[in-house]
Structure 1
Amino acid sequence: MYVEFQQLPAHARVWIYQANRAFTEQENRFVQSYLKQAVQDWNAHGAPLAGSFQIRYNQIIVIAVDEHHHAASGCSIDASTGWFKDLAFQLGIDFFDRSVALVQEEALQLFPLLEVKQAVAQGLITTESFIAIPQVKDLADYRAHWPAQANDSWLKKYFVAASV
């Protein structure tokens, strides 16, 4: 059952999907319509899940579910992953891209994972840069720490090496 994203409690479970490019306006409308219906019909073993989604930077989709209402199961999580495989097929977008997303105002700049160390060395990503981290503990963590400063993310290991 679809609920407004803002109405989900802090303990809601979160999944973050990053597209390899920004959506066009038409794609954004399609994704919103698709996901609203998918979340509305989302269930675990026949029990409806109280979930929602949010699109950030026209390129990242955050899915959340209130597991106190009913817990997501392996099958329901697989179903949600299937949404992104289907959207990828329909739109020609990769939602399983593992690039690092640097937040620049209301847009993202993607760095392939193997080029992140070089981007830090070149000063393209600094300790103060904001990064769209791919995982958070729960909705409270997402609301408080997303996006995260690079120095507070897994990227901090590159800054230690860069300053030596």
Structure 2
Amino acid sequence: MYVAHNSLSENAKVWVYPSSRKFYPQEIDGLKEKLHQFISEWKVNKNAFKASFEIKYNRFVIFYAEDNVTLSNADIDAQVGCILALQQDYEIELLDKMNVCFKQGEFIQYKTVKDFKKLLKSKSVNDKTIVFDNLIQTKYELENFWEVPITESWYNRFL
């Protein structure tokens, strides 16, 4: 059952899917419609549960599910199926969570780890650069630990 993401508890489960490119303005309404439809039909053992989605920075697709629900492998597979369909529809990559997303001025960059290390070496990014930890797991972590300086993330090992 779709609910507004801000109505879910801090313990709500979260999945972040970074896009390899920014969604174009003309794509946003259709993307929201597809995500809303998926969330509205997403059920556990044929029982509805509170879930939501968000598109942040026109770059990240975020799914939420209330923490009192136990999702099976089939439920997660359904979510991944939705993401795979979006990848095909929009000709983007959403499943490669090991790429680095970071802020460079007002822009969100998406680079391979190899390219990110080169940027660090050339001092194009530094220890104050804000990175996105797309491996976070709860709404609380999303709100407090998703956008952090490199020194406060698992990427700090590259410094």
Same fold (TM over 0.5): yes
Q: How does 1:48-127 map onto structure 2 within 5 Å?
A: 48-68=48-68, 70-97=69-96, 98-104=98-104, 106-127=106-127
Q: How does 1:1-164 map onto structure 2 within 5 Å?
A: 1-68=1-68, 70-97=69-96, 98-104=98-104, 106-159=106-159
* Separation in structure 2 between the aligned mates of residue 95 and residue 158 of structure 1, nearest angstrom: 23
TM-score (ref. length: structure 2)? 0.93
Is the contact made by 1:49 and 1:71 (CA closer than 8 Å) also made in structure 2?
no
Is the contact made by 1:58 and 1:107 (CA closer than 8 Å) also made in structure 2?
no
Structure 1: 4+ residue segments shifted above 4 A: none
Is the contact made by 2:134 and 2:146 (CA closer than 8 Å) also made in structure 1?
no
Aligned length: 158
Gaps of 5+ in 1: 160-164
> How many percent of aligned residue pairs carry the same amino acid?
23
Structural RMSD (CA)? 1.3
TM-score (ref. length: structure 1)? 0.90
Deviation of 1:131 (Å): 0.7
* Separation in structure 2 between the aligned mates of residue 44 and residue 125 of structure 1, nearest angstrom: 43
* Separation in structure 1 between the aligned mates of residue 8 and residue 23 of structure 2, nearest angstrom: 25
User: Counterpart amino acid of 1:92?
Assistant: E
Deviation of 1:150 (Å): 0.9
Deviations 1:63-122 (A, max 9, x none): 110031x22221111101111100111111111233211123553112212122211111
* Separation in structure 2 between the aligned mates of residue 91 and residue 120 of structure 1, nearest angstrom: 30
Gaps of 5+ in 2: none
Is the contact made by 1:57 and 1:107 (CA closer than 8 Å) also made in structure 2?
no
